[in-house]
Structure 1
């Protein structure tokens, strides 16, 4: 009997402990609410957009090459330095070329002396032949020597000009304003007239090239013609850049080039936009998303893209409703607007959308909110 009583007491104790443990897993009524960041769904005037994958290209991308050979004796600016047009970049040993200039100058002086003598003899010959003191044959010889001397001075002067040019080429200067790459040669290298020394890139403004299909080009032109026929102001397209981080580049661009033919292999045509790049934020070779706004603006509800989630039923957001209760709201979305996205159905203006802290909350629970900070443009 005692054994039975002890067993019953032990079983009762275990049940009490289990019940007590189950109560410990429940959230106390006075526990702090999870914190989230929210933003109000708001209407904004947006223009219809299309997105294209683009690539940044430098306005100028110059291969710096030597024009004469010799030993490289100095690099005047550091790798990666910003330089202005005409700045001295590299210097080749000048001794050989300076000697060639001196030699050419001496030849010019020699030929000048010969020309002066031939001119004097020719002048005397003209006087003598008029008096019959010399023959026609002798006069012809004097004339020939004068012409030969005149030709010789032209040759020597041209040689001097070439020698001076070659001497000047030992100083390699920046052909444009831009940023110098890492040097491809070292001091003391023996370089030739075709050696690449570095590249110079001018990245302000920056070009962005992309491909447009033949159909998209025709649709765009037809839309502009329709606007004109209806008496509406013809809307100029605006180019924006979306970076790989999802943020929007702070400057807008303009279109400055449309190729002159459709590529028969791809059915596309090359288009280029130009963007200000005063701080050098954009670099050549970047892959970007080009967002083109075209057509007249319309009012649309917009929310941050990062607030949108997706499950088997489709896209949805979490809304902080009355009494701080979290609701799941299925939505239909439209076009991108940088880091924002238009919503065509499922939301009302002013509703508080949870942007940050989504992993901390559940539908039907409560949360404490603070205003969300939208990402900055660059």
Structure 2
């Protein structure tokens, strides 16, 4: 009988102690709040953007002189080196024009030599007062005309040499040639248009757009950094149309200088090695941007971060079950979460719901803790009485 009385007394004592811990000093029930236990983690998450592949260099091959096409030196789809022969135009008429220009140059040079000799003779005669000044001036004029004729003839030779060179059409870049639009035996010229196109495939470029908010967040998180420094900090990867990841990461080459007014986005250009020619211009891919060295910190629902005249802060539940204020340094917002770079420690219980009805120093009752995932809890506070998970 005595043992039963002792057990009953212990049960009543435990119930009394639990009830008092869930009540305020005036006997009112302690308000319930939802908390999450925070853990330090990498703050920057991957960002994904739809992008399209384009060639870094692309050139339309055209004829710069008219003539009969003698030879097509490549096959469509063939990889060609810079300087590789693509087309050969019959050079006969241009070689003849070059020979005529050279002959004209020789004639002009002979005339200049004769004019130079005559000028020197007239200068000597004039010095001995045996020639009139008018005769000397005429000799000087003839010399100047002969010199001008030589210069004109030299220009004609240069033009003729250029035209002969234009009969050999080479690729200005290394890349892949498209199909030829003309074949041997056809008359081609400057008005023919594009003969073929050569595009560079390795390396290759992916263009995607980031929105204004991301741009501002990147700038604010890296004050004083140059655009090149920001570009180097982020490492682009690709997801291919079949869902697989491209095997090699790229680098951000540069970002546009103007935000598109209609879309509020800024183009970003990233270059990737493409030795297997897997990426082709026009392909749609997903650009995945990861920070090179992700900073660590804490993620809490954005609504949990409060602000007053003293700055940004969060409310915690301490080990004694009372509310505490903790000043924090927030980072950028990631989706619906706020990043905290300073002010929190592992294991802190941050109030994420119900904070608006409590104040520092007040005793509260917590609902079961949630793991720190950086997402706001989906359930609202229960309307029933708080459970027995009271913080002590």
The TM-score normalised by the length of structure 2 is: 0.61
User: What residue number does 2:188 align with?
Assistant: 191
- Give the one of 48, 53, 65 matched to 2:50: 53
SS at match of 1:207: strand
SS at match of 2:202: strand
Equivalent pairs counted in the alignment come to 253
1:166 matched to 2:163? The reply is yes
Written as runs of structure 1 = structure 2, the 5 A alignment for 1:1-378 is 48-194=45-191, 195-224=193-222, 236-294=233-291, 296=294
Q: Give a deviation string over 1:191-214, Cα, whole Å, max 9, x none.
A: 122431111111111110011110
SS at match of 2:201: strand
Distance in 1, Cα, partners of 2:134 & 2:113: 21
User: What residue number does 1:21 align with?
Assistant: none
Distance in 2, Cα, partners of 1:243 & 1:82: 23
SS at match of 2:210: strand
User: What residue number does 2:21 align with?
Assistant: none
Compute the RMSD of aligned alpha carbons: 2.6
SS at match of 2:149: helix
1:48/1:297 contact within 8 Å kept: no
Distance in 2, Cα, partners of 1:165 & 1:225: 53
Q: Residue 121 of structure 1: CA displacement?
A: 0.7
Q: 1:222 to 1:146 in 2, by over 3 A?
A: same
Runs of 4+ off more than 6 Å:
none
Q: Residue 221 of structure 1: CA displacement?
A: 2.8
Q: Residue 165 of structure 1: CA displacement?
A: 0.4
Q: 1:46 to 1:61 in 2, by over 3 A?
A: farther
Q: Residue 236 of structure 1: CA displacement?
A: 2.1
SS at match of 1:52: strand
Distance in 1, Cα, partners of 2:282 & 2:151: 50
Structure 2: gaps spanning 5 or more residues: 1-41, 226-230, 297-372, 374-392
Q: Residue 237 of structure 1: CA displacement?
A: 1.7
User: What residue number does 1:8 align with?
Assistant: none
